[in-house]
Amino acid sequence: MLIVGITGGIASGKSTVTKALRDANFPIVDADVVAREVVEPGTRALEKIKLAFGPSIIENGQLNRHKLGNIVFSHPAELNRLNAIMQPAISSAMRDKISFWRTQNVPILIIDIPLLLEKGYENLDDIDKIVVVYADREVQMARLKARENLDDINAKNRIDAQMPIADKLVHADYVLDNNGSQWQLEEQIKNLMVNLKEIAPKYGTK
């Protein structure tokens, strides 16, 4: 099975790319969904977050993600603490999902994984090819602000909390340039799909 990681900066267009691949019937593992599952009520990761950030971070048994986001995106040290809790939990859950798809005999598995290249991530070995969705910082800022209704400072904090997108490009096997229109992105996605289908047989079905 060929495992393809889709990554890029926040609001660079990863979800748009993943949606197109899902519509084309590629199986997808979404790290954001996994990241939510590992902090559901009763999980060990949620207990650890409660210890690290205090009980007020939990409301009615649920993690208050907005509150946590505001803490960690303006304090890099707090973000590191959160990542130290989240990444092992996510890695382990991701490995379980990959194992499941290996039993399904699919030729290609797509993993939508925003933090693939960020420090401390443990899944890199499983990924055969890395796709980086790229948009210039100004484009990223404008789309992030529009999507989440953020002001300049909060949008900037969220972008600065991530590895600079240019550093991610170094690791890319494929780069999708999303500075242009949705249509231009779609064309690149089509080419990517053709290429992945061509190389997939080399990776077998397991």
Residues forming contacts to ligand ADP in the complex (CB under 6 A) are 8, 10-16, 143, 147, 178, 181-182, 185
Which residue, 44, 31, 38, is CA-closest to 98? Answer: 31
Q: How far is the CB of 11 from ligand ADP (least distance, A)?
A: 4
Q: How far is the CB of 38 from ligand ADP (least distance, A)?
A: 19
> Could you tell me the smallest distance in angstroms from the CB atom of residue 128 to ligand ADP?
21
Which residue, 82 or 144, has its beta carbon nearer to ligand ADP?
Answer: 144
Nearer to ligand ADP, 103 or 181 (CB): 181
Closest C-alpha among 189, 169, 157, 166 to residue 15: 189
- The radius of gyration of the chain from alpha carbons, rounded to an integer in Å, stands at 17
Instruction: Identify whether the C-beta of residue 150 lies closer than 8 Å to the C-beta of residue 96.
Output: no
- If the CB atoms of residues 124 and 146 are measured against ligand ADP, the closer one turns out to be 146
Question: Judged by CB, which is closer to ligand ADP: 30, or 128?
Answer: 30
| Least gap, CB of 182 to ligand ADP (angstroms) | 5
Q: Which residue is nearest to ligand ADP (CB)?
A: 15
Measured from the CB atom, the residue of 87 and 178 that comes closer to ligand ADP is 178
Nearest-approach distance from CB 139 to ligand ADP, in angstroms? 8
Query: At closest approach, how far in Å is the CB of 205 from ligand ADP?
Result: 29
56 or 181: CB nearest ligand ADP = 181
CA distance 120 to 116: 9
